């Protein structure tokens, strides 16, 4: 979308510049002809798209979308999977296939006060929350790690509270993008630096600090799809 918008703006600016500098009416007429040809080409493509959609048979993707049919998997009484064709297959069904673990939190904060902030790291949760106020993005938990850099759990909790952060939504898998020896230091800052022999934590990272805050009772685990 960004590329399309940028291209459209660039073309509009070029055409405006051409109109400003062309004094000859013949030149301006040529530009009008070019724009008219582009419009005709777009109209032809628009018609061809509808022809392509209408010409598809019952198995065509456009027709399936128009018919609003889909398939879902059900578990029978004998614990066997059964594929069932479902009519009225809408966006909620697609969402439940892709992000079913989001629903519990989305419903819980449906009427969240504006002052209760949500820190989101590595998930698409922000796009589905009803209240879009006071949502903070912290892609690699760098902000969270900074607030926990002194290792004082009480102060860390107080900083989160002073920032009006009440909810933390985190996907620990975002750490996998920094795996490998070349990014080992970044990986350690995200999870924790461990002794290669004993496996014990030498320096805490963002995730290990979260675990300590949880064990100390400062934060609670509301929901997870990993258990």
For residue 109, the model assigns a pLDDT of: 94
For residue 179, the model assigns a pLDDT of: 61
Q: How many CA atoms lie within 13 A of 203 on its CB side?
A: 10
Q: Retrieve residue 158's tokens.
A: 């107080």
Mean pLDDT for 169-192 is: 75
Mean pLDDT for 70-99 is: 81
Report whether pLDDT(177) > 70: no
For residue 172, the model assigns a pLDDT of: 77
For residue 90, the model assigns a pLDDT of: 75
pLDDT digits (tens, 9 = 90+) for 115-159: 999 999 888 899 899 999 999 988 778 888 888 888 899 999 999
What is the C-alpha to C-alpha distance for residues 60 and 62, in angstroms, rounded to an integer?
6
For residue 227, the model assigns a pLDDT of: 47
Mean pLDDT for 178-207 is: 81
Report whether pLDDT(62) > 80: no
pLDDT > 90 fraction of the chain, expressed in percent and rounded:
24
What is the C-alpha to C-alpha distance for residues 84 and 130, in angstroms, rounded to an integer?
31
Mean pLDDT of the chain: 81
What is the C-alpha to C-alpha distance for residues 61 and 54, in angstroms, rounded to an integer?
11
For residue 70, the model assigns a pLDDT of: 72
Mean pLDDT for 177-199 is: 78
pLDDT digits (tens, 9 = 90+) for 8-44: 888 888 877 777 777 777 777 877 788 788 888 888 8
pLDDT digits (tens, 9 = 90+) for 96-124: 878 888 999 999 999 999 999 999 988 88
């Amino acid at each position: 979308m960004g590329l399309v918008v940028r291209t459209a703006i660039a073309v509009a600016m070029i055409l405006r510049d051409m109109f400003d500098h062309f004094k000859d009416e013949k030149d301006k007429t040529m530009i009008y002809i070019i724009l008219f040809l582009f419009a005709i080409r777009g109209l032809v493509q628009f018609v061809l798209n509808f022809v392509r959609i209408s010409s598809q048979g019952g198995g065509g993707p456009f027709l399936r979308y128009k018919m609003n049919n889909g398939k879902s998997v059900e578990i029978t009484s004998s614990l066997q999977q059964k594929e069932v064709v479902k009519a009225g297959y809408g966006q909620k069904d697609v969402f439940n296939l892709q992000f079913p673990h989001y629903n519990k939190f989305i419903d819980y904060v449906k009427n969240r006060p504006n002052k209760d902030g949500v820190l989101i790291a590595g998930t698409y949760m922000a796009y589905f929350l009803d209240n879009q106020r006071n949502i903070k993005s912290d892609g690699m938990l760098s902000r969270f790690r900074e607030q926990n850099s002194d290792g004082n759990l009480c102060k860390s909790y107080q900083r989160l509270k002073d920032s009006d952060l009440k909810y933390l939504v985190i996907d620990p898998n975002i750490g996998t993008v920094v795996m490998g020896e070349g990014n080992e230091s970044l990986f350690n800052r995200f999870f924790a630096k461990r002794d290669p022999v004993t496996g014990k934590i030498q320096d805490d990272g963002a995730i290990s600090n979260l675990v300590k805050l949880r064990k100390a009772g400062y934060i609670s685990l509301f929901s997870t799809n990993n258990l």
